[in-house]
Amino acid sequence: MSKGDVSKSNIRLEYPWTKGSEYLFNTLDSGNQGISAASAKERLVQYGPNSLKGKNVSSAYLLFLGQFKSPITLILIAAAILSFLLQDRTDAIIILLIVMISSCLGFWQEYGASNAIARLLKLVQVTVAVLREGKEETLGTEAIVPGDIVILSAGDIIPADCVILSSQDLFVDEAAFTGESYPVEKQAGILAEDAPVAKRSNMLFMGSHVISGKAKVIVVSTGMATEFGKISDRLRQNAPETEFEKGIKKFGFMLMQITLVLILVIFALNVFLHKPVLDSFLFSLALAVGLTPQLLPVIITVNLSSGAKKMAAQQVIVKRLAAIENFGSMNILCSDKTGTITQGKVRLYKTFDMEDKGSDLVNRYALFNASLQQGFKNPIDEAIIEAFKADITDLPKALDEIPYDFVRKRLSIVVSLNDKSIVVTKGAFQEVLNICTQVQADKDKILPLSEGKKTSLVDLYERYSKEGYRTLGICWKQVDAPIISREQENDMVFLGFLTFFDPPKESAITAIRNLEKLGVKLKIITGDNALVAESLAKQVGIENPVVVKGGAIRNISTEALSAKVHQADIFAEVEPNQKEQIILALKKSKQVVGFMGDGINDAAALHAADVGISVDTAVDVAKEAADLVLMDQDLEVLANGIKEGRRTFANTMKYIFMATSANFGNMFSMAGASLLLPFLPLLPKQILLTNLLTDIPETTIATDNVDEEYINTPHRIDIGFIKKFMLVFGLLSSVFDYCTFGVLILVLKANEQQFQTGWFLESVVSAALIVLVVRTRLPFFKSTPGKPLLISNVLVILFVLILPLTALGNLFGFVNLPLKFYVYMFVIILAYVLTADYMKRWFYRKLATGY
């Protein structure tokens, strides 16, 4: 079989867990050195990207067609076609053109937004180490194909379904399949055909991740052919909607229902009053298009994508757009200290024995343990190697290993020294002390570990911890066999201490203060001991920090935990599962909680938080679980990102306020005018043109400036608040609409075309100007709008004023109006703007308490 021949008939593999490596190599046309680049390219074409999302080749076409999915738009197109068949071709063409222009506008905005987000997501792509033609390459997971040889280590996402070729102390989290939170041990082998997924110990599955150890595996299925893909109908569903998304959807649906009911009533009454049926029908449909917030999804998407681009400039990459609203609303941030508050560069401070004296034996055994372990390389081990690698070059042979885990909090290595098997264990001081029964007094002297000596060791530990040093213990013993188990970690000899320091960042104090100014309370969650955490907190300006230990929250009730999490500034000595408990307890009390994590054990807490935040240097599983990824691990970057999130939220809310109040006001104005007048107040094509012209400036709202006063506090969407705003400002706009009606009918004695022209002019010009009022809580002349918003509004106003004087205006049924109408219109709009500005300040002072 030639390399690169990858037809489906050639790659057919059933029950891969029952096959040996030679069979897999032959069937998958692969080998220990991997496949060729050419073969990989052909397989990628044949099987598609290794993704559950499927191919997006036609996404642009589907996005464009999606602009016409509104039932009202489809009915309007059908009605325009009917009008065309009934010889009213000019109006039909105009209506179809306006619908097409509106749809193209929505498509252009959404397509640009989706492309921008796709480019940003490539910056934080999850990658994996792959052997291709014997060379190790780093590739995105979507490029993995059947037959690839993948190298995995702790923290890696398993990119596809694989069979293990070789492994060492490999433990994997398969909670997505088994629901079991404890890691599962995996190793090479051959199993029976009837082995269920949970018992296939020689296979790794897409959707799981490596907790510890390492492995070399061969990919047997990708994408939808994986076990994960087979249950993807459930797993591929969108992430749960945020409160913002639910609120917007509910409110938009409610507004649309009210609108449609009124439209049906208006249509029935117009027919009852003997107005032309087709005109009445088109009028009602056009009114529905103008009044329903159909641009709302587009505006929200554009605002969020624009916010994501601005946040990217602040070194914050947004993976899930909907998280931006929660990011802006966040009022509690839970974070580990390493790399965010501290410099993230762990250094060895000193090593010493039971008498606080330097010890070559401690140094030597610490280097053995750190250098020879094959699991997850961590900053502690790197610091030890950096400190001692020049002094000790004769490393012994490693015989066995018990990898570090978050329950034992220890790492044991078996080494061969002078033809003896020696176990060297290092880890959390208390966990090491618990397995010791003796203590090393000097190089050749070992004493029983009496209570007095235990007390002395604890005193040493606490003294260094209070000074802010992370203090670990190290111990050893001789064993008979080179292979050991966890049960043999006992009766050991306590050897000494290893102390480390990770200095706080100079920027941390300023960043924490800036977060407080933004209304965000920082809570530190760490596995380090309470004394070290408290010392660090004081160094960065947290006065009299309240420290809660993991042991104190292990068995308390939910109610008691809720009380404790609010009081605490620091959670120390916490276990991985307790991070999630803390997040959920904070959320239960209606807080918007962010969690910042980068470790293997942070995935659950990242999922549980309202906003999961990771960093570009994090392990794959943390980046995959996060909503946002920081390209620079600094709290100051986070503060800047929060500001951008709040700007995005503010601009989204501006459109909601504008659309809902204008729509609600227009319903009353249209309803009254159509019933009081012997003709339609606006022709269908005029309503659609009004809708188009008022939409154009609102699509630039994402670029608008936001007042600093708004940015300085967190905000949440409040449907009740929006309803109040809609009622107050909708009714206010109707008052001035009826003033315009009065001038046109009673003063100017306007005919049908003059009335329609006059109301069209007043409606569009006032809508353009009122945007500048509603967009800020301040007096409108004290808040400068963004240039695109200002320019687009000015251009729309100029276009509308000129339109009745042109042939295009005649096509829409507009006529010239006397100069005195423009004087009256100016007075009415000026009164509207000034009244709205006053009402806005009264509204926020009296009715918007707590918003």
**CB count, 10 Å around CB of 74?**
12
Q: 3-state DSSP call for residue 81?
A: helix
Residue 210, CA distances (Å) to 130, 158, 382, 769 in order: 16, 7, 20, 58
**Which one of 161, 336, 620, 737 is the catalytic residue?**
336
Taking the CA atoms of the chain, what radius of gyration do you get in angstroms? Answer: 34
- With the C-alpha atoms ordered 365, 369, 371, 377, is the resulting torsion angle positive or negative? negative
What is the distance, to the nearest Å, from the Cα of residue 187 to the centroid of all Cα atoms in its chain?
Answer: 34
Residue 600: which of 173, 88, 19, 85 has the closest Cα? 173
Report CA-CA distances (Å) from 8 to 2, 146, 164.
14, 11, 23
**DSSP code for 743:** I
Provide the token pair at 542.
Answer: 């947290």
C-alpha 160 chain-centroid distance: 23
The first and second tokens of residue 625, run together, are 């679980």
Residue 352: C-alpha distances to residues 346, 359, 424 (Å): 18, 6, 16
Q: State residue 189 phi and psi, 5-degree precision.
A: 160, 180
**620 annotated active-site:** no
Place of tokens 């329609």: 756
| Cβ partners under 8 Å of residue 724, min gap 6 | 843, 847, 848
Contact 547, 534 (CB under 8 A): yes
Joined tokens for residue 417: 């020294």
Within 10 angstroms of residue 109's Cβ, the number of other Cβ atoms is 20
Dihedrals φ, ψ of 463, to 5°?
-65, -45
Residue 844 vs residues 276, 815, 837: alpha-carbon distances, Å: 45, 41, 11
- What 3-state class would DSSP assign to 452? helix
CB-CB contact of 754 with 689 (8 Å): no
Enumerate the active-site residues: 336
